[in-house]
Structure 1
Amino acid sequence: MSNLEPINERAADWLIRLNEPGADERLAAEFDAWKRSDARHAAAAERLQGFIGQMSALRAQKASVHAALDAAFTSRKRSYRGKRAATALMLLALLPAWALWRSELPGYLLADLRTQPGQWLVHELADQSRVTLNGNSALDLQYDGRQRRIRLLRGEVLVDVAHDSSRPFIVETEQGEIRALGTRFVVARAEGVTLVTMLESRVAATASDNPQALEVNAGEQARITRDDVQLTATVDTRSVEDAWRHHQLVVKDQPLPAVLDQLARQFPGHMQFDREALADLRVSAVLPLDDSDRALNLLAEALPLQVREFSPWLRVISRAR
C-alpha cells in the first residue's frame, strides 16, 4: 500500500460524511482542520472534489454525492470504515463514466448546441429564427422541408421564431410539444415537467400522451407533463425579458431551497445544503445566474446563512448561528 492510499481513503470518507443529512458546521470545521494539517490531505480532497464537480456539471439532474452513491453503499453499511472509503474512492473515480451510461448524457454531449454552467449562448438558425440558451442547457436541431423542430435536452431556451407559414416551428421535450408560427417564448425543463412562458403571440402546447392541445397566450405560463397541459400563472413579460437579457434569476417569495436548486444548476460543482433546515426561509430577490458566488453572498447578506467554500467545486450552505 502506498503512503497516499490511506490519505485518499480518509478524504473519501470525509466527503461522504459531509454529504450525509447529519453533516453540520462542526463537521465542516473538522474537515477544514484535517486539510490544513497536511498539504497531502488538501490535495487528496481537491482531487475527489474535482470528480464531484465533473459529475454535477454533467449529470442531467443534480443530486448530492451521498444520494448518487447510496445504492452502492447499502450492502456495505456494516463494513469497516476503510473498506467503505476505499469503495467510495473507486466509485467517485468511475462516476463520470457511470453517468454517461445511465443518463441522457450521450445525447447532451453530442447536442447540436450546448452551454456550460454559467454560460449563455445566442444562435441564429438557418431560417433566421434565434435561440438563446442559458447556462447548463442543450438542444438538438431538426430542419427539413416540412418542419422546423428543436429538441430541448436540458435547461432553458428563449426562442424567437421567424415566420414561415409552410413549416411549423416545434419545440419538443420528453413531456410534449410546443407548436408556433411566429412568436417569442421560453421553454424550461424541470424535474419531470416542461414550463412554457409566453412573451409574444401564442403557441399550442400538447402533452406526449394526450393529443388535446392547449393555447398559451402572451403573459401566460403553462406546465406540461406527459399526460396534461395546464395554465399555471400570469407573468410580467418585461421582467422575464430583463432577466434573460441580464442573466438574472428573479424570485418573489420563494422558499430558499427552490432558489438554491436554480443557482446550483449554474454552479460548475456541487452545492450542499439541508433542505429541511432552510425550508422556512423565503426569498424575494434579483440574483445573478452567471455568478453563483455573488448570488450566494447576496443571499447570505439578506438571510441568516453561512456559505463555506471547500474548493472551487464545493459550497456548503447552512443556517448561521
Structure 2
Amino acid sequence: MSTRESINEQAANWLIQLNEPGVEEQLRADFAHWKALDPRHAAAAERLQGFVGQMSALRPQKASVHAALDSAYASRNKTYSGKRGATALLLLIALLLPGWALWRSDMPRYWLADLHTAPAQWLSQTLPDQSHLTLNGNSAVDLHFDDQQRRIRLLRGEVLVEVAHDPARPFIVETEQGQMRALGTRFVVKRENGITLLTMLESRVAATASANPTSVEVGAGEQARISATQVQLLSAIDPGSVNDAWRYHQLVVQNQPLPEVLDELARQHPGHVQFDREALADLRVSAVLPLDNSQRALQLIADALPVRVRQFSPWLVIVSRKP
C-alpha cells in the first residue's frame, strides 16, 4: 500500500471515531497531534472533512458518518470491528461518492444537452441536413442549425461526424479550445483533459484554436491536438482501425501508460474508478478493450498486468498494484 493510501485510510479512521457519540476531548487532542506530525496528515484530513461536508449538504437527512457506516454494515450482516481503517474509507466513499460526483460535475448542462449518452451507451443520430453523428458513452452535444451555418458544440466526451454536402452552410464542430470547419466528410472530435483531439478519417478539416486565428488543415489519416492557443499535428493514424474501434465500441491502445487507459475506462463506468497514478505509472498496456463493458475491460487488464481490481459497490472500483 502506498504512503498516500495509508494516510488517507488513517484520516478516514480518525473522522469516523470523531463522529461517534460522546467523543472525548482526549481523542480530539490526539487527532490534532496526528495532523501536526506531517503536513500530509492535515491535508488528507482537510480533504476528507470537506468531502463529507459537501455530502451533508446534499443528503436530505443529515446523519453522522458512524450511523451511515452502521447502516451499510447492517445491510451486509457484518460486525463493525475496531480494525476498520481501509474498510471505513471504502464504505465512506461508496456511500457518498454519487452525490459528490453530481455536485462537482457539469451534469446539469449534460442533462440539458440536445443529444447525450450515459456511460457505455452509444447513440447514432441523423441530423436535419442528413449529416450523421455517433456519440460514444458519456458524451453530449448541442446543435445549432440555421440558414447560414450548421454548428455542433461538443460539451463532453467524443463524437464521430459524417458531414452531408451543403455548400451554402458550413459545418462547424466547436469546443472550448477551438473549432473545426469541415472541408470533407468524416472525422472524430474528442474532449480530454483540457484539450481537443481531432482524428481525420476522410477528406480534410480546417482547425483553429480559440485564441489564435491561424487555421491548420488536417487531412485524412492525420491527428491534431487543439489547445486554446495552437493546433498541433500529431503522428499519423490508421483510419480503418479507428473505424473498426467505433463500429465495435472498442478502445485500441498500443504501449500506453496504464493510468491513461484507466482514465478512458473510468469515463465509461457508471461509478468511480479509483487508482494511484504514481504507483501504476510504469505499467503499459497494449490491448483491444471493450468500452461498453468496463468491468470486462478492467478484468482483462488485471489478467495481463500485476494489478488487482476490487469492486466495493456499484459506485466504486479500486485498481491497485499487487504487492
Shorter-chain TM-score: which interval?
0.7 to 0.9
Whether the 8 Å contact between 1:53 and 1:314 is mirrored in structure 2 is no
Counterparts of 1:263 and 1:197 in 2: how far apart (Å)? 20
Q: Among residues 266, 269, 290, which one is paired with 2:268 in the alignment?
A: 266
Whether the 8 Å contact between 1:148 and 1:170 is mirrored in structure 2 is yes
Whether the 8 Å contact between 1:53 and 1:268 is mirrored in structure 2 is no
1:39 matched residue in structure 2: 75
**Which amino acid counterpart does residue 233 of structure 2 have in structure 1?**
L
Q: Among residues 166, 169, 181, which one is paired with 1:167 in the alignment?
A: 169
**Residue segments in structure 1 that go unaligned for 5+ positions in a row:** 1-5, 11-15, 21-33, 57-95
1:237 matched residue in structure 2: 239
Aligned pairs (5 A) from 1:5-44:
38-39=74-75
With over 3 angstroms needed to count, the CA separation of the structure-2 counterparts of 1:48 and 1:252, relative to structure 1, is closer
With over 3 angstroms needed to count, the CA separation of the structure-2 counterparts of 1:123 and 1:7, relative to structure 1, is farther
**Which amino acid counterpart does residue 94 of structure 2 have in structure 1?**
Q
Q: TM-score, normalised by structure 2?
A: 0.73
**Which amino acid counterpart does residue 121 of structure 2 have in structure 1?**
Q
Are residue 255 (structure 1) and residue 257 (structure 2) matched? yes
Aligned pairs (5 A) from 1:42-191:
49=94, 51-53=96-98, 55-56=100-101, 96=102, 98-99=103-104, 104-191=106-193
Q: Does the residue aligned with 1:234 lie in a helix, a strand or coil?
A: coil
Whether the 8 Å contact between 1:308 and 1:316 is mirrored in structure 2 is yes
| 1:166-215, Cα deviation, whole Å (9 max, x unpaired) | 00000000000000143100000011100000000000000001110000
Are residue 300 (structure 1) and residue 294 (structure 2) matched? no
Counterparts of 2:143 and 2:191 in 1: how far apart (Å)? 17
Counterparts of 1:311 and 1:118 in 2: how far apart (Å)? 18
> Larger Rg: 1 or 2?
2
Identical-residue share of aligned pairs (%): 62
Whether the 8 Å contact between 2:183 and 2:206 is mirrored in structure 1 is no
Q: TM-score, normalised by structure 1?
A: 0.73
Counterparts of 1:263 and 1:211 in 2: how far apart (Å)? 35
1:23 matched residue in structure 2: none
Post-superposition shift, 1:143?
Answer: 0.0
Post-superposition shift, 1:305?
Answer: 1.0
With over 3 angstroms needed to count, the CA separation of the structure-2 counterparts of 1:8 and 1:216, relative to structure 1, is farther
Counterparts of 1:36 and 1:137 in 2: how far apart (Å)? 32
**Which amino acid counterpart does residue 75 of structure 2 have in structure 1?**
A
**Which amino acid counterpart does residue 128 of structure 1 have in structure 2?**
Q
1:289 matched residue in structure 2: 291
Q: Does the residue aligned with 1:242 lie in a helix, a strand or coil?
A: helix
Q: Does the residue aligned with 2:246 lie in a helix, a strand or coil?
A: helix
**Residue segments in structure 2 that go unaligned for 5+ positions in a row:** 1-15, 21-43, 49-69, 79-87
Counterparts of 1:251 and 1:272 in 2: how far apart (Å)? 20
